């Protein structure tokens, strides 16, 4: 990598970093203010701040495409405004050579983003949500909006969250005898123990024909075929799971003859993230060398935001469409990405 390569990489990386920090900072403020609506006796404003900070790795992963697009636009745009790109072209650098210089630092961004999405964000997101559920449960405020459902025979389970040590927080079990609700169980937590599970702080309500009977237990065994890995994939939101977990869960759902379209959609979105980032950088470069060559920085940011939102909305539209029309979820991810590459190549071809 020669001096011009390093200079281009430094400008683009710095712009991407600034944009990412600004986006995450703005998101932190907005989510903190929004989270204040959930303040309760044992879950205060400081706890909301801690919960929001815990989720920053996941937010970093989420904002990576927008940060890469706007960062490339701003970094290359600043070089264009200072006539540095013109000097590079006059020195014999082709458009392809300059774009390749921009793509080189993108490799570092891709490695960092994929590492965060695969190893950091799933763990921090799981811990943050389980910590929040446990804090709110101090007021018997089981987080009904979080967690997941699972059926096992005549039992229907609701799990609030799961800690990194595989302790399940907030277990609800509804047992049916035919069409009749026979009993409801609520346990503060389920702890893995000796190859099985132990429910703690248990309250069981039995619905008899003429009355209801409630019993409480400090602990009791939980006999179930659900193991920690499966529970983790049931409870944690699929969009925050790692690529390897999505692969295993998708295969499990397929083996159960259950619809796994959403799981495979998230899997392909994460697996093809490097291709998505490269396509967005190509669009940014084509804008700078094409229609936005002499535009102000604010104009570039506006058009970059417009492209980023269009890309996201197209992905969001094609995701449910893959379920309705039955085409493979991989095309719901590839179609917007290929559109970015085609748009980028078209504008670069026009600019010469």
Q: What is the secondary structure of 309-322 as a DSSP string?
A: HHHHHHHHHHHHHH
Contact 174, 181 (CB under 8 A): yes
DSSP E strands in the chain: the ranges are 148-152, 155-162, 168-177, 180-193, 196-207, 212-222
> How much is the pLDDT for 247?
92
> How much is the pLDDT for 78?
86
Question: Would residue 178 be called left, alpha or beta, if left means φ above 0 and alpha means ψ between -120 and 50 degrees?
Answer: left
Helix/strand/coil for 209? coil
The token pair at 167 is 């302790």
What angle (nearest 5°) sits at the alpha carbon of residue 217, between those of residues 211 and 223? 95
The span from the first CA to the last CA of the chain, in angstroms, equals 25
78: phi then psi, degrees, rounded to nearest 5: -65, -40
Contact 99, 43 (CB under 8 A): no
For residue 93, what are the contacts with CB-CB under 8 A and spacing of at least 6? Answer: 4
Q: How far apart are CA 148 and CA 129, in angstroms?
A: 12
For residue 68, what are the contacts with CB-CB under 8 A and spacing of at least 6? Answer: 16, 106, 109, 277, 280, 281, 284
Contact 19, 71 (CB under 8 A): yes
For residue 193, what are the β-bridge partners?
196
Q: How far apart are CA 24 and CA 18, in angstroms?
A: 10
- pTM assigned to the model: 0.81
> How much is the pLDDT for 216?
93
> How much is the pLDDT for 15?
93
Contact 233, 245 (CB under 8 A): yes
pLDDT tens track of the chain, all 352 residues? 678 888 888 999 999 999 999 999 999 999 999 989 888 777 889 999 999 999 999 999 999 998 999 999 888 888 888 888 888 888 888 888 888 888 888 999 999 999 999 999 988 988 888 788 777 765 444 444 567 888 888 889 998 888 778 888 889 999 998 778 999 999 988 999 887 899 999 999 999 888 899 999 999 999 888 888 888 888 888 888 899 989 988 888 888 777 788 889 899 999 999 999 999 999 888 888 876 666 676 777 777 778 877 887 887 788 778 777 778 888 888 998 998 899 888 888 876 5
The token pair at 96 is 């392809």
CA distances from 207 to 103, 164, 180, 184, 346 (A): 65, 35, 9, 8, 68
What is the residue-wise DSSP string for 31-83? Answer: HHHHHGGG-BTTB-HHHHHHHHHHTHHHHHHHHHHHHHHHHHHHHHHHHHHTT
Contact 157, 172 (CB under 8 A): yes
> How much is the pLDDT for 277?
93
176: phi then psi, degrees, rounded to nearest 5: -110, 140
> How much is the pLDDT for 30?
94
Closest CA to 289 of 338, 340, 347: 347
> How much is the pLDDT for 294?
65
Q: How far apart are CA 38 and CA 42, in angstroms?
A: 11
The token pair at 55 is 């989720």
């Amino acid at each position: 990598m020669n001096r011009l390569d390093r200079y281009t990489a430094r400008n683009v990386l710095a712009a991407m970093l600034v944009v990412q920090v600004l986006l995450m900072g703005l998101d932190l403020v907005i989510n903190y203010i929004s989270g204040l609506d959930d303040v309760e006796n044992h879950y205060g404003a400081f706890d909301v701040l801690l919960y929001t900070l815990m989720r920053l790795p996941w937010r970093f992963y989420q904002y990576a495409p927008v940060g890469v697009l706007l960062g490339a636009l701003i970094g290359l745009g600043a070089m264009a405004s200072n006539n540095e790109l013109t000097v590079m072209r006059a020195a014999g650098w082709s458009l392809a050579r300059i774009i390749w210089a921009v793509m080189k630092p993108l490799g570092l961004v891709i490695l960092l983003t994929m590492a965060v999405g695969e190893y950091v964000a799933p763990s921090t997101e799981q811990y943050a949500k389980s910590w929040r559920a446990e804090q709110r449960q101090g007021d018997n405020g089981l987080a009904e909006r979080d967690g997941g459902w699972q059926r096992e025979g005549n039992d229907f389970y609701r799990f609030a969250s799961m800690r990194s040590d595989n302790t399940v927080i907030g277990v609800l079990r509804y047992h049916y005898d035919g069409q009749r609700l026979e009993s409801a169980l609520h346990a503060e937590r389920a702890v893995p123990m000796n190859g099985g599970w132990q429910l703690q702080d248990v309250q069981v309500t039995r619905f008899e024909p003429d009355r209801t009977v409630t019993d409480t237990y400090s602990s009791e065994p939980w006999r179930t075929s659900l193991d920690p890995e499966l529970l983790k994939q049931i409870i944690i939101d699929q969009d925050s799971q790692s690529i390897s977990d999505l692969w295993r869960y998708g295969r499990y759902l397929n083996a159960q003859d259950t619809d796994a379209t959403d799981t495979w959609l998230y899997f392909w979105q994460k697996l093809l993230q490097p291709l998505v980032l490269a396509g967005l950088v190509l669009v940014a470069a084509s804008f700078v060398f094409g229609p936005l060559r002499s535009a102000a920085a604010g104009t570039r940011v506006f058009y970059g935001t417009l492209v980023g939102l269009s890309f996201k909305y197209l992905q969001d539209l094609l995701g449910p469409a893959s379920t309705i029309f039955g085409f493979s979820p991989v095309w719901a991810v590839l179609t917007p990405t290929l559109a970015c590459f085609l748009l980028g190549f078209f504008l670069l071809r026009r600019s010469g």
